[in-house]
Every structure is written in structure tokens, then in C-alpha cells.
Amino acid sequence: MASGPPRPPGSERALARYGTVMVAVIIATWILLLYDIVADGWDGRGLHRCGRIWQTSFPS
């Protein structure tokens, strides 16, 4: 007996694809952040730069 409403076909694949994309984005963010730390030292400017890029890309 399945619990909950039946899922439309293909929803598991879509959810798996979404999860894979999210993991890839998180890993890429960490790689860029680590690269910034190695290149410039930890001064926090990398985070501020990411924040500025985010704000200009997605103005609230």
C-alpha cells in the first residue's frame, strides 16, 4: 500500500535531476570560494563580491 497521493510518472527522475543540479551548484560554490581564499587570503572580499553579483543578478 502506497502512502500519500500517487506521483505523476517521471517525478522521481525530475527530483533526482533537481537534486543533482543543486549538489553541483553547491560544490561549484565551494570550489570558487576555496579558490578565492587561496588566491587572495581570507579577507571576506570573495563573499562580498558574490553578494554583489547576486544582488545585481536578482534585484529584490
pLDDT at 23: 93
57 and 49 Cβ atoms separated by less than 8 Å: no
Q: What is the pTM (predicted TM-score) of this model? A: 0.47
pLDDT score of 2 more than 60: no
45-52 own/partner pairs: CB under 8 Å, 24+ apart: none
pLDDT at 39: 67
The 10s digit of each residue's pLDDT in 5-53 is 776 677 788 888 888 999 999 999 888 888 777 766 665 555 666 666 6
